[in-house]
Amino acid sequence: MKLCAGITGLLLCASLYAGAQQPPPIHVDVRLVNVFVNVTDPAGAPVGGLAKDDFLLTQDGHPQTISYFERQSEMPLSLVLAIDTSGSVQKDLPLEKYAAHNFVHALLRPVDRLDLMDVNSDVREVVGFTSNLRRIDAGIENLTTGPATALYNAIWLASQRLTPLSGRRVLVVISDGSNTVSGVDYQQALEEAVRGEVMVYSLIDLPIVADAGRDTGGEHALIALSQETGGKYYYAEAGNLEKAFQKISEDLRTQYLIGYYPVRHSSFSDFHRISVTLKDPPQPPYTLRYRTGYYSAPASVPEPPR
């Protein structure tokens, strides 16, 4: 008996042949990874005018093709301003408020959004995301104070608020670095910021520069948070935040945006390390600042601070 005899047989054979020849479905991860890069010369001044071909990018040591490039990114800002209002920095609070007013008015555009938090024994959202300068000004003047500092809780919560938003996600923290409330630890705060692709800018308030009671461990933690997320840290002695805020404004206006579709390679971790360099680095070399990596898989079960 011939299987393909007659019209019915021909149709059956054609169906079997098509099924045999059909390739298995291919699942392609087409996620575009965005990397914001700041380039500065040895004097710390921003370097403009670079082109896509000036950059080299690797992921986990493997070269990647740059698919998207933009100078001086105009992407909207989603920004959380978290101000430490605990007892250790309360005497500088009037200066912090004054500097915050000026920073917000100089930086914020109608397309940008800012969320204001005060950080002491608890973390309080004073003003939700808005571009309304009057609301933000009123919030800055109505910060509450408290004896302790839930700093890592604030970084975790701010990152949670920023994660679902589009555009550039930025957290500006004003604090002396002390964390005196249990709950989220440093590693959890860092992971949440990295997973949310949040750039952390730390303004480290030093009320007394030579104070023997300084929390140098807390300061170093803020420095590491900024370096790992592509942000930057500044020391603000005795509440002098004006220059630091100006530098952050300048930083956010002079960022290169590099995008690539990662070529997958085997990895034992869902964390992928990014490296960005210049093809022909000048002498003395420029400094490049960017986030050091990203997570390809979501966190298992996000838990709020306790």
Q: What is the pLDDT of residue 305?
A: 63
Q: Give the strands of the sheet with 113-119, arranged side by side.
A: 123-130, 113-119, 77-84, 168-175, 198-206, 233-237
Q: What is the pLDDT of residue 252?
A: 93
Q: What is the pLDDT of residue 302?
A: 54
Among residues 69, 157, 79, 159, the alpha carbon closest in space to that of 112 is found at 79
SS3 content of the chain, % helix, strand, coil (to 5): 30, 30, 40
The whole-angstrom separation of Cα 206 and Cα 92 is 9
**Structural domain boundaries in the chain:** 33-72+255-295, 77-253
Neighbouring-strand partners of residue 70 = 257
227: which DSSP letter?
Answer: H
Architecture of domain 77-253: 3-Layer(aba) Sandwich (3.40)
Q: What is the largest CA-CA distance in the chain?
A: 98
188: its two tokens = 């959890």
Helix (H) or strand (E) run with residue 189 in it: helix 186-195
Q: What's the predicted TM-score (pTM) here?
A: 0.86
Among residues 192, 164, 222, the alpha carbon closest in space to that of 300 is found at 192
| Number of C-beta neighbours around residue 80 at 10 A | 26
270: its two tokens = 């869902």
Ordered DSSP codes for 229-285: HT--EEEEETT--HHHHHHHHHHHHS-EEEEE-PPP---SSSEEEEEEEESS--SSP
Q: What is the pLDDT of residue 306?
A: 62
Instruction: Spell out the per-residue pLDDT of the chain, length 306, in tens.
Output: 444 555 444 444 444 444 444 444 433 446 899 999 999 999 999 999 999 999 999 999 999 999 999 997 789 999 999 999 998 788 888 989 999 999 999 999 999 999 999 999 999 999 999 999 999 999 999 999 999 999 999 999 999 999 999 999 999 999 999 999 999 999 999 999 999 999 999 999 876 655 556 788 999 999 999 999 999 999 987 667 889 999 999 999 999 999 999 987 666 788 999 999 999 999 999 999 999 999 987 765 556 566
The whole-angstrom separation of Cα 125 and Cα 118 is 7
Q: What is the pLDDT of residue 19?
A: 47
Q: What is the pLDDT of residue 31?
A: 84
